[in-house]
C-alpha cells in the first residue's frame, strides 16, 4: 500500500488498495475549506491532475461553459491574454484541456515530466481560483454584438463568440438535439433540464455580471474536488495546492448540489422537431426514443444493477431489446440514444429507433414494453447474464491510455460520484460489488425483478423527434429579426460602444504579450531518444507471429493481419461494408445471434478494420492489411483464438436481413457523426487527390464513403441486389482467406511462454498461402468540392501536395504546421474569426499539408486566412521562441505515452509498414534540428505557385448565397 501521509493542512479520511488495478486510492479533506482530494497512487510516471467544480446552471445561457473558456484567458499571476494556449506550446504535456459537463466543470492535464507538471499546476490553479475574467475575453469566448462592417453602425448587426458558434455546431448534431430534448422532459426541475453547454438562442441573454456572479459562487475550494494520479505522493501535491491557492481562502457556507428530481406519476409522450434540409425527403427520418429516470448513481449497488440490466438488454445483437430494435421494420436502426447514462446524479436508461415515422410511435413504444414484459415472464439465460458480468470485469481490468491518459480515465470514472458526494473509491474497486451482484444473479428471478422495476417506473418519457424542413430557416430568420429589433433600440451612444468594443477586442487579439512570465520547459528537458520496445518473433506452423510482453493487467490482445489481396475497384469500394460485417454474421452452423452471445462470453469484442499507408519514401506506393483484433481475459485466451480463427474460416454470408440491418446502422452512425468530425471529413475530401491511399480513405471513410453507403442502402431494398451484395462480400472474403497472414500477441511478460504453448495447437495448421498483393494506380490530382450537409456552421480545408515521412522535409513541414497554428492560425481563425478551432497538419502518410477550420461561422475569409498565414510566414522573421515551442509540440506528440498494449500495437504496426525504430528516431532527430531557414525554405517550395485543393462542408443556404463565388473558385457542389 502506498504511503497515504497527508500534508498538515489536509486530513486523511480513507485509504484502500485496488488489486485489480494495481493502485491504491486515498481520500483527503482540506481542513479549512473542506475541499476534497482523491489521490490514486500508482508507479505510473504519467502524472495526472484535475480540479473540478460543481457547476449547477439554472438556465441554458451556457454560463458554466462560457466560464470554463473565459477562466483560461488570464489570471492574477499570469495576466496574459491566452495562458492556456500559450502553455500548450510551452509544455511536454500528454493531455491538456477543460470540460463542461451537465453538473461539473473540470480542468485536467497530464505530463510525464516533473518540471512540466509543476509548471502546468501553477497555471491551472491560478486560472481556476484567481481568474481575471476580462470583459473582452467574455466577449470573445462567449458572445458579443458586432456590425458586419465593424466601423459602420448602419450595417447589419451580428452575434459572434467562440462558444456561441461552437454550440451552433454542436446542436447541429441530431444525437445532441435528441439528448438535450430528452433531458428537458426527463428532468423538469433540476439543472439537467437546461443545456449546460448553452443553447445558441439563449447564450446572448447571458450578461458579464451574471458570469462574474457564477464564478464567485462556484469557483471556490469549498466547492472543489482535486483528483490526482501517478507516482508523485499525495502530500507533495497538497503542499502545492496549499501554497498556490488554498491558503488564501476561508470556508464557503454555500452548499452547491443537484437536488432530487420530482417524479412523474404517469408516463409522458412529447413530440418535437429537428431541422432537415429542404432537399431531403422527410419520410422514414423520425426518431422515437423511450427513456426512464432511474435511481441515484451514488448508490453503487443501484448503479451496478442498472449497468447489468442495460447490458442484459442491449449489450449485443443477441440481447433481447437490441435484437428487437435491430430487426424491427418500425425503424431503420436502433437509436444512438440506446444505453445507460450513469454519470449524472440520477441515471437515465434510454432505447428506441431512428429512421421511423410519427405514425409508428405507438408501435415502437409497445415493442419496447412488450420486450421488457417478455424478460419479466421468461427471464434471461444464465450464461447471457454471466457474459454481461464478464464484460463489466473486463472493462474494469483493462489499462487504457491510448485516447485519454489512463489516470485521467480512472479519475473521470470516479468524478461523477465525487461530484454528488458519493463514494468514488467504490467505483474503482468494483470487485467486491461485482461478486455480490454475481451471487444475486444465481436467482432466476433477479433479472426478472430488475426488468419489472423498470416497467413499473412511471417516470418515463417517450420522445418523438420528427424532421422539419423549415425549422432551420425559421431559426435563422428569428435570429435576424431579433438582431434587427435590437438594432432599432440602440442609441447612437450604444452603437458607438459596440464599434469601440469591436476595435478594442481586435487590438487585444493582436497584442504582443509578455510570455516570459509563464513557466516553460525547453528542448533541454526533452528526452534524448525514443525507447525501443522489446519483442520476439516465431512461428505457429507457417503462421509467423510477434509477441510483446507488456503490463496488461491480465488481459491478452491478439491481432491477425492479412495482407490486402488484389481487389477490383468495385470490391475496394465495399471494404468498409466487409469490415463491418466480418465480425457480425453467423459462423458455420451458428447464427449471428449465437455468435454475438459467444463473443460476449469469450472476449471484449472482436473487430475488423483495414489499415493502409503509403511508402516511407514514396506516397504512391501502397501497403495495406485487414486487421482482425480482439482482447480477452487471460483465462479465455484459447477460446479467443478459436473465435478469431472461426471468424475467418466459417464466416457465412447468407443472413441477408442481418446484412441489411448492419448497413442501415452504419449509415445512421456515419451521418450523425458529420458535424462532430466535419474538419476531418473536409481535410479528407481536400486531400483525396494526393495519393492512392488518400483516395481510398476518402471513398471508404470520408464524405464520398457516406454517399456510397446511402446509395447502397437504397439499392439493397431490392432482395436480388441484397443477395448480390452478399455474394460480392463472399468473394472478397475468399480472397482474404487466400492471402498471407501474420499474428500479433500481447500479454504479461511472465505469461507469454505458457500462453503461446496454449495457442500453438489453434494456429499451427492455419492456412497461409500468399495471393497476389494489393496495389493501386498512382495519383496526384487537385480536388475542389463544396459538400452540402445538415450543419449550421462551416468546416473548411485546403491541402497542398508535399512529401512522405522518409523525406528530410517531412519533419520540417510537421513543425511548420504547429508554428503556423501557434503564430497565426489560432488567432485569426479562432479568436478573431470565432471558429471553435483551426490549424494545420502535415500528413506524411499521404504526403499532404492540410489547413482546416472547425465549427466555423466564416467561409471565404477563413480560406483567405489560410493563404495569409503563408504570406505571414514568408514575410515575418521567424521567432526563436515560436520555433522552439513548435518543435516541443511535435516531440511531445511523438513521445506521448499510450496504454501498455496500445504502445505495443503502435510499435508493431509501424514496423510492418517500414517505420522501424531507426526510422522513427531519425524523424524525431530531424524534428529537433529544424531551423528557421528550413521553415522558410519548405514554405516557398511547397506553397508558392502550387494550386491547392479545397473542400468545404456547409449547408444548402450557404451554397445558394455563395453560388457565384463557388463557380468562380471552380468548386463542384457535392450532395451526400
Percent of the chain whose predicted confidence (pLDDT) is above 90: 91
Three-state secondary structure call for residue 256: coil
Return the closest-CA partner of residue 524 out of 109, 813, 111, 928.
928
| 741-747/543-549 β-pairing | parallel
> Cβ(337)–Cβ(464) under 8 Å?
no
Residue 562 in contact with residue 744, Cβ under 8 Å?
Answer: no
Q: Considering only the top CATH level, what class is 10-171+191-258+489-512?
A: alpha beta
Question: Where is 615: in which H helix or E strand?
Answer: none
CATH of domain 268-403+413-468: 3.30.830.10
Average pLDDT estimate for 564-587: 95
pTM beyond cutoff 0.75: yes
Decide if 874 contacts 524 (C-beta within 8 A): no
Q: pLDDT (tens digit, 9 = 90+) per residue, 721-749?
A: 999 999 999 999 999 999 999 999 999 99
Architecture of the domain defined by 784-975: 2-Layer Sandwich (3.30)
List pLDDT tens digits, range 10-38. Answer: 999 999 999 888 899 999 999 999 999 99
Give me the pLDDT at residue 771, please.
64
CA distance 868 to 863: 9
Q: How many CB atoms lie within 10 A of CB 403?
A: 12
- Is residue 82 scored above 90 in pLDDT? no
pLDDT of residue 772: 63
Confidence band for 2, pLDDT divided at 50, 70 and 90: low
Q: Alpha helix locations (H) across 897-951? A: 900-912, 917-928, 932-943
The pLDDT-based confidence of 233 (bands split at 50, 70, 90) is very high
Where residue 544 falls (left for φ over 0; alpha for ψ -120 to 50; beta otherwise) is beta
Specify burial of residue 189 (Cβ count, 10 A radius: 0-12, 13-18, 19+): exposed
Architecture of the domain delimited by 547-564+583-650+740-766: 2-Layer Sandwich (3.30)
CB 10 within 8 A of CB 31: yes
Q: Region 319-348: what's the mean pLDDT?
A: 96
Specify the range with the lowest mean pLDDT, choosing from 328-342, 374-388, 515-529, 569-583.
515-529
Closest-CA residue to 606 (of 577, 648, 564): 648
pLDDT at 857: 94
639-677 residue pLDDT tens: 999 999 999 999 999 999 999 999 999 999 999 899 899
Give me the chain's average pLDDT, please.
Answer: 95
> Mean pLDDT, to the nearest integer, of 392-418?
91
CA dist list (Å): 433 to 22, 384, 426, 576? 18, 19, 8, 40
Write a three-state SS string for 634-665. HHHHHHHHHHHHHHHHCECCCCHHHHHHHHHH
Identical fold for domains 10-171+191-258+489-512 and 547-564+583-650+740-766, yes or no, is yes
Q: How many CB atoms lie within 10 A of CB 898?
A: 19
Say what the pLDDT of residue 403 is: 85
Q: Is 723 helix (H, G, I), strand (E, B) or coil?
A: helix
Percent share of the chain, pLDDT over 70: 99
Q: What is the pLDDT of residues 856-866, one digit of tens each?
A: 999 999 999 99
What digits encode the pLDDT tens for the residues 88-131?
999 999 999 999 999 999 999 999 999 999 999 999 999 999 99
**DSSP secondary structure, 405-470, as one string:** -HHHHHHHHHHHHHHTT--HHHHH--HHHHHHHHHHTTSTHHHHHHHHHHHH---EEEEEEEEESS
For position 404, what pLDDT does the model report? 87
pLDDT digits (tens, 9 = 90+) for 127-169: 999 999 999 999 999 999 999 999 999 999 999 999 999 999 8
Query: Domain segments of the chain: what residues?
Result: 10-171+191-258+489-512, 268-403+413-468, 547-564+583-650+740-766, 656-738, 784-975
Beta bridge partners of 745: 547, 558
Does 1 have pLDDT greater than 60? no
Distance of alpha carbon 847 from alpha carbon 617, whole angstroms: 10
Amino acid at each position: 500500500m502506498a504511503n497515504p501521509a497527508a500534508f498538515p493542512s489536509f486530513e486523511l479520511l480513507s485509504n484502500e488498495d485496488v488489486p485489480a488495478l494495481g493502485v491504491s486510492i486515498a481520500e483527503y479533506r482540506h481542513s479549512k475549506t473542506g475541499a476534497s482530494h482523491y489521490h490514486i497512487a500508482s508507479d505510473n510516471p504519467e502524472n495526472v491532475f484535475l480540479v473540478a467544480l460543481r457547476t449547477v446552471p439554472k438556465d441554458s445561457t451556457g454560463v458554466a461553459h462560457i466560464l470554463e473558456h473565459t477562466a483560461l484567458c488570464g489570471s492574477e499571476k499570469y495576466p496574459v491574454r491566452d495562458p492556456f494556449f500559450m502553455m500548450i506550446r510551452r509544455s511536454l504535456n500528454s493531455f491538456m484541456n477543460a470540460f463542461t459537463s451537465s453538473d461539473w466543470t473540470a480542468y485536467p492535464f497530464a505530463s510525464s515530466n516533473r518540471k512540466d507538471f509543476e509548471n502546468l499546476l501553477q497555471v491551472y490553479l491560478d486560472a481556476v481560483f484567481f481568474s481575471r475574467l476580462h470583459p473582452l475575453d467574455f466577449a470573445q469566448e462567449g458572445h458579443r454584438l458586432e456590425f458586419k462592417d465593424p466601423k459602420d453602425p448602419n450595417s447589419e448587426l451580428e452575434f459572434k463568440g467562440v462558444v456561441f458558434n461552437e454550440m451552433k455546431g454542436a446542436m447541429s448534431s441530431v444525437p445532441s438535439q435528441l439528448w438535450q430534448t430528452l433531458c428537458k422532459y426527463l428532468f423538469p426541475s433540476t439543472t439537467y433540464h437546461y443545456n449546460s453547454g448553452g443553447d445558441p438562442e439563449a447564450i446572448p441573454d447571458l450578461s458579464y455580471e451574471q458570469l462574474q456572479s457564477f464564478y464567485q459562487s462556484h469557483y471556490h475550494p469549498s466547492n472543489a474536488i482535486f483528483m490526482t494520479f501517478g507516482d508523485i505522493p499525495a502530500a507533495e501535491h497538497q503542499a502545492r495546492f496549499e501554497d498556490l491557492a488554498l491558503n488564501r481562502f476561508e470556508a464557503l457556507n454555500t452548499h452547491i448540489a443537484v437536488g432530487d428530481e420530482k417524479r412523474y406519476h404517469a408516463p409522458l409522450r412529447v413530440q418535437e422537431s429537428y431541422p432537415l434540409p429542404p432537399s431531403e425527403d422527410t419520410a422514414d427520418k423520425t426518431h422515437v426514443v423511450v427513456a426512464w429516470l432511474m435511481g441515484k448513481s451514488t448508490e453503487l449497488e443501484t448503479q451496478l444493477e442498472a449497468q447489468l440490466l442495460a447490458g442484459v438488454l442491449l449489450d449485443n445483437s443477441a440481447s433481447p431489446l437490441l435484437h428487437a430494435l435491430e430487426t424491427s421494420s418500425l425503424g431503420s436502426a436502433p437509436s444512438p440514444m440506446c444505453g445507460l447514462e450513469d454519470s449524472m446524479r440520477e441515471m437515465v436508461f434510454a432505447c428506441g429507433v431512428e429512421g421511423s415515422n410519427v405514425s409508428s410511435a405507438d408501435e415502437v413504444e409497445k415493442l419496447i414494453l412488450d420486450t421488457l414484459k417478455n424478460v419479466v415472464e421468461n427471464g434471461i439465460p444464465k450464461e447471457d447474464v454471466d457474459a454481461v458480468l464478464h464484460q463489466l470485469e473486463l472493462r474494469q481490468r483493462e489499462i487504457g491510455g491510448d485516447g485519454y491518459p489512463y489516470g485521467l480515465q480512472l479519475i473521470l470514472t470516479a468524478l461523477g460520484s465525487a461530484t454528488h458526494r458519493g463514494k468514488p473509491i467504490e467505483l474503482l474497486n468494483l470487485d467486491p460489488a461485482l461478486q455480490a451482484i454475481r451471487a444475486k444473479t444465481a436467482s432466476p428471478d433477479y433479472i426478472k425483478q430488475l426488468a419489472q422495476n423498470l416497467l413499473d417506473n412511471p417516470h418515463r418519457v417517450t420522445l418523438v423527434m420528427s424532421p422539419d424542413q423549415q425549422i432551420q430557416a425559421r431559426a435563422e430568420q428569428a435570429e435576424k429579426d431579433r438582431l434587427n429589433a435590437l438594432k432599432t433600440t440602440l442609441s447612437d451612444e450604444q452603437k458607438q460602444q459596440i464599434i469601440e468594443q469591436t476595435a478594442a477586442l481586435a487590438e487585444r487579439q493582436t497584442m504582443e504579450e509578455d510570455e516570459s512570465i509563464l513557466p516553460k520547459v525547453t528542448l533541454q528537458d526533452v528526452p534524448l531518444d525514443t525507447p525501443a520496445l522489446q519483442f520476439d518473433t516465431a512461428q505457429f506452423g507457417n503462421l509467423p507471429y510477434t509477441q510483446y510482453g507488456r503490463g496488461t493487467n491480465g488481459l491478452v490482445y491478439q491481432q491477425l493481419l492479412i495482407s490486402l489481396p488484389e481487389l477490383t475497384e468495385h470490391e475496394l469500394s465495399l471494404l468498409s461494408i466487409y469490415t463491418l460485417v466480418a465480425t457480425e454474421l453467423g459462423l458455420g452452423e451458428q447464427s449471428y445471434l449465437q455468435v454475438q452471445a459467444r463473443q460476449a462470453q469469450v472476449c471484449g469484442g472482436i473487430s475488423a478494420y483495414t489499415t493502409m499507408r503509403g511508402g516511407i519514401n514514396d506516397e504512391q506506393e501502397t501497403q495495406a492489411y485487414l486487421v482482425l483484433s480482439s482482447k480477452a481475459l487471460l483465462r479465455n485466451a484459447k477460446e479467443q483464438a478459436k473465435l478469431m480463427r472461426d471468424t475467418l474460416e466459417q464466416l457465412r454470408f447468407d443472413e441477408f436481413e442481418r446484412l441489411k440491418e448492419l448497413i442501415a446502422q452504419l449509415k445512421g452512425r456515419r451521418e450523425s457523426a458529420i458535424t462532430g468530425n466535419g474538419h476531418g471529413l473536409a481535410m479528407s475530401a481536400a486531400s483525396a487527390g494526393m495519393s492512392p491511399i488518400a483516395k481510398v480513405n476518402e471513398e471508404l471513410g470520408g464524405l464520398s464513403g457516406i454517399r456510397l453507403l446511402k446509395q447502397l442502402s437504397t439499392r439493397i431494398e431490392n432482395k436480388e441486389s441484397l443477395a448480390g451484395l452478399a455474394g460480392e462480400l463472399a468473394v472478397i472474403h475468399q480472397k482474404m482467406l487466400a492471402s498471407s497472414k501474420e499474428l500479433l500477441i500481447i500479454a504479461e511478460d511472465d505469461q507469454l511462454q505458457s500462453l503461446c504453448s496454449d495457442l500453438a495447437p489453434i494456429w499451427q495448421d492455419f492456412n497461409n498461402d500468399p495471393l497476389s498483393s494489393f496495389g493501386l494506380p498512382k495519383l496526384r490530382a487537385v480536388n475542389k468540392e463544396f459538400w452540402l450537409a445538415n450543419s449550421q456552421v462551416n468546416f473548411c480545408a485546403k491541402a497542398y501536395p508535399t512529401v512522405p515521412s522518409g523525406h528530410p522535409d517531412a519533419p520540417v513541414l510537421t513543425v511548420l504546421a504547429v508554428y503556423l497554428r501557434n503564430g497565426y492560425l489560432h488567432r485569426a481563425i479562432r479568436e478573431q474569426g470565432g471558429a471553435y478551432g483551426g490549424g494545420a497538419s502535415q500528413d506524411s502518410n499521404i504526403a499532404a499539408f492540410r489547413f482546416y477550420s472547425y465549427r466555423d461561422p466564416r467561409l471565404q475569409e477563413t480560406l483567405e486566412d489560410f493563404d495569409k498565414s503563408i504570406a505571414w510566414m514568408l514575410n515575418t522573421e521567424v521567432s526563436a521562441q515560436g520555433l522552439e515551442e513548435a518543435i516541443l509540440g511535435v516531440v511531445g506528440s511523438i513521445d506521448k505515452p499510450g496504454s501498455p498494449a496500445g504502445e505495443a500495437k503502435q510499435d508493431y504496426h509501424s514496423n510492418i509498414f517500414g517505420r522501424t525504430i531507426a526510422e522513427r528516431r531519425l524523424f524525431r532527430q530531424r524534428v529537433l534540428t529544424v531551423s528557421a531557414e528550413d521553415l522558410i525554405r519548405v514554405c516557398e517550395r511547397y506553397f508558392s505557385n502550387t494550386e491547392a485543393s479545397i473542400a468545404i462542408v456547409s449547408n444548402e443556404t450557404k451554397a445558394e448565397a455563395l453560388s457565384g463565388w463557388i463557380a468562380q473558385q471552380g468548386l463542384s457542389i457535392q450532395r451526400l
